[in-house]
Structure 1
């Protein structure tokens, strides 16, 4: 890699955030590679993971078992973040290998070689949120991203008559599996509801400033009120700033569907600020489950190769049921809008 050595300190070990148990047992060394520290949902995933580490260590102190010590790095956003995470994972494997690595990939393909390097070194790897498209993962924990998009598509379909094709703008991010699956799910949801649509334009954004730019591009490309029916954003990282920019420009006629469950987006639904549905992730649960599985792998236990956490449809009708990013799965319920699957189910799906 081309990074200058004097910059290494910026990306090396950011914290040893959870300490060994007081019993004297040597803790398991857990390398954790986070993606972003600017995207709010990812911050909550991190808190969930680190809170689970605290719980594990409390239990370890009480039982005399081995706890965990986390060694964390943050890649950062954009193309530099992708390259940085490649370098971080290589350094982690080659220079001071931990007992296990947990990674939130910045890119599905970029980490193939570092994952294969970990495989050859005998270091198990657990991924969460995003997949790595080559190599072997001990376990993969993610939201049901296709479901997240599908819920948005079927709900938006319930708001429109069928006299003409829906005029749709997509704000997507094709570099990671989760956001690709969300777009596919959204379009599948529209199609299953019998809605014809026309994709007017696609923009790329997952971070707040990118969302502002996507909104500016939309306003430039479609300056007339009524020229766009719906904007679908693949996350709240871009979606919140996009909505804010469109509202400031007076484009309140546009309907917005999105994914994540950010409190600001929930407020937009409650206040009628463009957003009609936000398919929420259970972010803390995702991060915590990733560490649970890593700890079980370290103890020699079998874990499912894949865990899929359901997404929750936050709408005006379901606001009171949504417990927030840090909450547990709410009870199953019947959707109050037309759907090919009327029941929302509160269960995790596991498999190989």
Structure 2
């Protein structure tokens, strides 16, 4: 399959179409507005639908309604927009509907700025919506990986009947890289007739399917939450993804980094290696479920003396890294969160300070 040079945001939109999703609801917000600009042209070409809501709040409930009727749906937004969708995300989760959310993060808090950031980590992995609400969260480090994760996210959302989030930063959305769209990642929606409110005549059924998030009986509400927890536990057992780099031999330090920040760290590790300093990296590809065992095992290698969480935030993932290391090694954080991406040289200086 020939590769084509595409901007990240446009590749994300095309990936959703190639995956078989023809229902896109969105509201423009930088640095991901090019997804909507691309799909307003492409969706009519493939028989799909693009509806721009009057706000991100409205978009969240458009997704809920269409997903509840059994349609494959997705949206893209950026940090404040995802915040406005968070109530609907909780509703969608409680009602056990599949949907895909793409967050191309910008700096914050508040309106922040439009440059790259990873400051929505805690929101995506621990605080996305009220109640016991969790999403399966994947974090690409390249445009190609973003394409593949978007395409994989739809069957994953349907497998668990739960929202999936692709968490990228502004650099993922704005940079251009060669990509291909693997044919094997195009799938058909599965088993929606068993639960969706898609019409009794359509299903040739005398039984109504009721999609709801309201459970006034405390026993029923507790049972629904137990069902959700069972899904999250299954995600932890079946969906953990990560990449190891330079972990085969002995190393003095371990970096944990994700997304485009991990690409900077990879360059720094190569430069340190040229100076005779061995450092490894564990890159989470799923942020929830987090690769806890992999981080723990990599940190506890006898030669390793320090673990470093390097991220474009004020230290959000470091809390998960510390939880994995369990106090057996020092853990430190380094990062920036204003759109200014740490350079390989800055990472090298930080590493040398920790493992000297």
TM-score (norm 1): 0.31
TM-score (norm 2): 0.31
